Amino acid sequence: MPLALNLLLESLPADLGPEYRRRIEIMQRAVMGQSQAEICAALGCAQETARYWMAVAEAGEVYKWKSHPLGRPKTINDQYLERLQNLVNQSPRDYGYPFQRWTAQWLSKHLAKELGIEVSGRHVNRLLKQMGLSTQPKLKKQKTAPSEPLSQRRAGITIGDLRSTSSPDFLEPSNFNSSVDVHQ
């Protein structure tokens, strides 16, 4: 086993997370001559993971085991969230935009320009929802008089009696000529 890997194994902290230990074990097994398939079967890891850390070991760069953070990189930080919260509570016109309300897409574009962090409009909506905020205006409840019929309170329209005392002549049944032959 290469000296660098031996030194690494001896200097590992006791509270090292399982993902970091797996990286090191992949490199150790690769140096011992195990194949990618054997390593994946023994450790239950993805082929891409084994392939990457095997290449690191073959390049003699075992010291890079900790240089790659685990998981997907986190782009949203506290500054972004604070700024998002401030923006959604202000008018876009204060920032030179012609519209009255923010959309998630415009918040995303503005924050990308301002902070250099690009996320989708859908993700901005998710963040707003987590913070209990929205780009949609709050609905104002209209107070209606309780004496109004329910149909008027709901729709705001009234349907009255459609029958009229004087109907147009063309609606009178006597004006229809049933003796006209349409095949003339």
Which pLDDT does position 58 carry in this prediction? Answer: 85
Could you tell me the two tokens for 165?
A: 């005392």
> Domain map of the chain by residue range?
3-66, 78-130
Backbone angles phi, psi at 47, to 5 degrees: -60, -40
Backbone angles phi, psi at 86, to 5 degrees: -65, -45
Q: Give this prediction's pTM.
A: 0.42
For the chain, which residues score pLDDT lower than 70? 1-13, 68-74, 140-184
Which pLDDT does position 94 carry in this prediction? Answer: 94
Angle, alpha carbons 10-16-18 (nearest 5°): 115
Which pLDDT does position 83 carry in this prediction? Answer: 94
Whole-angstrom distance, CA of residue 2 vs CA of residue 115: 45
Whole-angstrom distance, CA of residue 15 vs CA of residue 145: 68
Whole-angstrom distance, CA of residue 73 vs CA of residue 51: 21
Whole-angstrom distance, CA of residue 162 vs CA of residue 114: 60
Which pLDDT does position 76 carry in this prediction? Answer: 86
Whole-angstrom distance, CA of residue 24 vs CA of residue 57: 9
Which pLDDT does position 103 carry in this prediction? Answer: 95
> For residue range 108-145, what is the model confidence (pLDDT) as tens digits?
999 999 988 888 999 999 999 999 999 887 776 655 55
In a 3-state reduction of DSSP, which class is residue 10?
A: helix
